[in-house]
C-alpha cells in the first residue's frame, strides 16, 4: 500500500455514447478509439448487435468479439476479460443495453426469479459486478447505449388517463452515466453534446461530431499532468487570448502567430475550435 499524488498518467477513460437507432454510436466509437491509441489493431468491439461491427470493417483492422444471448452480466464480464487478456488497449462495448433489457439480461433474470422486488437483491450484485469490470479495466472503455422514447401516464382535467411522451431515456439501469468520465448524447445528425464530463473538455461547449481528434484530445487529457491542462483552463493566458477573439479573422491571426504551439497541442486546438463554433453560433442567430 503506497500513497501517491493524483496524476492523469494513471487514468483510463470511461466514455459513454448514447443515441437512438441510426444515431452513429458504433461509427463514432470506432473513430474516437482510433484517436485514443492511433492503431485500430489495439481496439476490440464486443458486438451484441448481430454483427453490426463488421459493417465498419473498411475503417481499419479492429477486432470483434461477437456476444450473443443470453446477455447476462457474467457473459459481458467474460468478454471484457477476454479482450484484456488479448492485450487490447481500447474496449468498445456495443451495446450495454442488452445486459439490462436483452434476452437473458437483468430484467429477464428478475422476471425468471418471480419478478418480486426482493428478487433484485440477487440481481443487483451481478449488475454491479458488470459495472466494476468496466470501471476497473486496465483498458480505455467506450460503452454505447440505446436511447428510446419514454412515456408516462397522466390524468387530464376530466380525470381520464392519457399516455404522453416523456422524452428519451437510456436503455440501461438509471444512473449509469454517473459512473463514467464522459457521457456524450448523439442526435440523428451524429452531433454530440455532453451530459456528463469530468474532464471539462466538452461540457457546456457547442455540439460537435466525434472523430479521431476527439480521441486524441481525450488521450492527451489522460496522459498529461495538471500543468499542461491548466494551459487552457479559464483564467489562463491562452484562454484569455482565445476568448478575446470576436471574429473568425482574429482566430486565424492568433493561430498563425502561434502555429507551432497550437499544432502540437490538441487541447489548444479544441479551445480554438470551441470559440470558432461559438462565434459561428452567434452569427447564425443574428
Cell of 264: 502540437
Question: 230 in a domain, yes or no?
Answer: no
Question: 9 in a domain, yes or no?
Answer: no
**In sequence order, what are the residues at sequence separation of 6 or more whose Cβ sits closer than 8 angstroms to the Cβ of residue 198?**
181, 182
Question: 7 in a domain, yes or no?
Answer: no
Question: 85 in a domain, yes or no?
Answer: yes
* Other residues' Cβ atoms within 10 Å of the Cβ of residue 250: 15
Average the pLDDT over 34-43 and give the result: 96
Cis peptide before 70 (omega within 30 of 0): yes
Alpha carbons 245 and 271: distance in angstroms, whole number: 12
CATH number of the domain that 83 lies in?
Answer: 3.40.50
DSSP β-bridge partners for residue 112: none
3-state secondary structure of 68: coil
Per the structure, the count of domains in the chain is 2
Q: Which of these ranges, 2-16, 103-117, 134-148, has the smallest mean pLDDT?
A: 2-16
Q: Which of these ranges, 3-7, 14-18, 204-208, 275-279, has the smallest mean pLDDT?
A: 3-7
CA separation, residue 38 to residues 35, 97, 214, 273 (Å): 5, 28, 12, 21
Q: Which of these ranges, 50-59, 124-133, 142-151, 244-253, has the smallest mean pLDDT?
A: 142-151
> Are 263 and 133 part of one and the same domain?
no
Q: Which pLDDT score is estimated for 184?
A: 95
**Residue 111 and residue 118 in contact, taking contact as beta carbons nearer than 8 Å:** no
- Please, where are the H alpha helices in 153-265? 212-223, 226-230, 237-243, 248-257, 259-263
Cell of 149: 422514447
> Are 174 and 279 part of one and the same domain?
no
- For the chain, what is the mean pLDDT? 85
Question: 8 in a domain, yes or no?
Answer: no
Enclosing domain of residue 272: 237-284
Cell of 193: 453534446
> Are 248 and 183 part of one and the same domain?
no
> Are 210 and 253 part of one and the same domain?
no
Residue percentage of the chain with pLDDT more than 70: 84
> Are 184 and 279 part of one and the same domain?
no
pLDDT of residue 142 exceeding 80, the answer is: yes
pLDDT of residue 62 exceeding 50, the answer is: yes
pLDDT of residue 110 exceeding 70, the answer is: yes
Q: Dihedrals φ, ψ of 195, to 5°?
A: -100, -15
pLDDT of residue 58 exceeding 90, the answer is: yes
pLDDT of residue 133 exceeding 80, the answer is: yes
The domain boundary, picked from 224, 253, 269, lies at: 224
Cis peptide before 210 (omega within 30 of 0): no
pLDDT tens, position by position, 156-167: 666 665 545 445
> Are 34 and 176 part of one and the same domain?
yes
Residue percentage of the chain with pLDDT more than 90: 52
Burial degree of 105 (CB within 10 A; 0-12, 13-18, 19+):
buried
pLDDT of residue 282 exceeding 80, the answer is: no
> Are 167 and 218 part of one and the same domain?
yes
pLDDT of residue 152 exceeding 60, the answer is: no
> Are 25 and 71 part of one and the same domain?
yes
pLDDT of residue 77 exceeding 60, the answer is: yes
Q: Which one is predicted more confidently, 77 or 153?
A: 77
The domain boundary, picked from 224, 251, 274, lies at: 224
pLDDT tens, position by position, 196-214: 898 888 888 889 999 999 9
Encode burial over 115-148: b for 16+ CB neighbours within 10 A, e otherwise.
eeeeeeeebeeebeebbebbeebebbbbbbbbbe
Q: Which of 2, 19, 14 lies closest to 209 in space, CA to CA? A: 19
Alpha carbons 102 and 79: distance in angstroms, whole number: 16
Average the pLDDT over 104-124 and give the result: 93
Q: Which pLDDT score is estimated for 165?
A: 46
- pTM, whole model, 2 decimals? 0.76
Amino acid at each position: 500500500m503506497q500513497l501517491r499524488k493524483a496524476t492523469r498518467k494513471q487514468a483510463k477513460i470511461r466514455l459513454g455514447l448514447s443515441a437512438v437507432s441510426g444515431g452513429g454510436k458504433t461509427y463514432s466509437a470506432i473513430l474516437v478509439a482510433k484517436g485514443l491509441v492511433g492503431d485500430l489493431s489495439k481496439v476490440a468491439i464486443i458486438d451484441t448487435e448481430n454483427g453490426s461491427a463488421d459493417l465498419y470493417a473498411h475503417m481499419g483492422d479492429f477486432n470483434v468479439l461477437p456476444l450473443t444471448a443470453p446477455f447476462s452480466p457474467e457473459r459481458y464480464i467474460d468478454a471484457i476479460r477476454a479482450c484484456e487478456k488479448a492485450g487490447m488497449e481500447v474496449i468498445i462495448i456495443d451495446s450495454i443495453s442488452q445486459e439490462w433489457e436483452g434476452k437473458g439480461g437483468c430484467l429477464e433474470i428478475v422476471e425468471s426469479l418471480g419478478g418480486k422486488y426482493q428478487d433484485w437483491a440477487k440481481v443487483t450484485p451481478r449488475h454491479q459486478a458488470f459495472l466494476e469490470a468496466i470501471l476497473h479495466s486496465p483498458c480505455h472503455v467506450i460503452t454505447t447505449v440505446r436511447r428510446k422514447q419514454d412515456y408516462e401516464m397522466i390524468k387530464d382535467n376530466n380525470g381520464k388517463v392519457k399516455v404522453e411522451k416523456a422524452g428519451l431515456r437510456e436503455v440501461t439501469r438509471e444512473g449509469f452515466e454517473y459512473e463514467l468520465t464522459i457521457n456524450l448524447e448523439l442526435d440523428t445528425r451524429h452531433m454530440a453534446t455532453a451530459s456528463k464530463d469530468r474532464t471539462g473538455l466538452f461540457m457546456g461547449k457547442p455540439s460537435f461530431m466525434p472523430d479521431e481528434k476527439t480521441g486524441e484530445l481525450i488521450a492527451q487529457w489522460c496522459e498529461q499532468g495538471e500543468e499542461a491542462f491548466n494551459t487552457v483552463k479559464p483564467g489562463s493566458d491562452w484562454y484569455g487570448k482565445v476568448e478575446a477573439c470576436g471574429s473568425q479573422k482574429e482566430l486565424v491571426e492568433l493561430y498563425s502567430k502561434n502555429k507551432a504551439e497550437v499544432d502540437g497541442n490538441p487541447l489548444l486546438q479544441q479551445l480554438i475550435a470551441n470559440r470558432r463554433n461559438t462565434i459561428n453560433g452567434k452569427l447564425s442567430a443574428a
